[in-house]
Amino acid sequence: MITNDNHTNNMVKKESDILKIVKEDILEVLGRENKRISLKSMNLEVNVSQFFVSKAINELEKENLIRLSLDKKYGDQCIQLTERGQNKAKDILKKHLILEEYFKKRMSGRGAIQAANALEHYISTEVVEVIKKLSTFEKRGIALTEFKKKKV
């Protein structure tokens, strides 16, 4: 039986998971574009409800990862990365590109991008580094079966 407390806890967990993904997606878009982006453009880029985009932007600003400003020419509110945000965005982009490269060897280009987009939020940096090393072995033509455990 699901109690109200369990249901509420699951909803909060799902909401925080979505929020984490939206925040990472915003940083990834800003890092990839490497310039100020209007809030309108960001809403189009990050395909979730306005509620989550607004909440993510507020949290990113509080975490000093982005800065909001007003575009005087067009009157639009824009967001840009802070120095701290640039570092975080580089890490997110690196993770995405390693995953995308790995999957491009195994499936179509579009499928590889979708797989990277889906997994980048759920796997650790350590796992991504292992995938990067495995890809390096493949490029060099080293079969993974050649590695044997050393006896202690």
Q: Give yes or no for a contact between 80 and 37, defined as CB atoms under 8 angstroms apart.
A: yes
**Whole-model pTM?**
0.77
Q: Which of 10-19, 111-120, 139-148 has the lowest mean pLDDT?
A: 139-148
- Answer yes or no: do 58 and 103 share one domain: no
Q: Considering 81, 114, 137, which residue would you say is the last residue of a domain?
A: 81
Distance CA 28, CA 90 (A): 8
Q: Which domain holds residue 52?
A: 1-81
**Phi-psi domain of 6 (left: phi exceeds 0; alpha: psi -120 through 50; beta: other):** alpha
* DSSP-assigned beta bridge partners for residue 78: 38, 69
Q: Which residue has the higher pLDDT, 88 or 48?
A: 88
Q: How many helices (H) and strands (E) does the chain have?
A: 6, 3
The H or E element that residue 59 is part of is helix 50-62
Q: What is the CA radius of gyration of the chain?
A: 19
CATH classification at residue 62: 1.10.10.10
The residue to which tokens 């790995």 are assigned: 102
**Phi-psi domain of 143 (left: phi exceeds 0; alpha: psi -120 through 50; beta: other):** beta
Half-sphere exposure of 4 (CA within 13 A, CB side): 0
At 81 the three-state DSSP class reads strand
pLDDT tens digit string along 10-47?
545 587 888 999 999 999 999 999 899 999 899 888 88
Query: Which residue type is seen at 42?
Result: M
Report, as an integer, the average pLDDT of 125-142. Answer: 76
Q: Which residue has the higher pLDDT, 88 or 152?
A: 88
Q: Which residue has the higher pLDDT, 74 or 114?
A: 114
User: Is 38 a domain residue?
Assistant: yes
Q: How many structural domains compose the chain? A: 2
- Answer yes or no: do 33 and 18 share one domain: yes
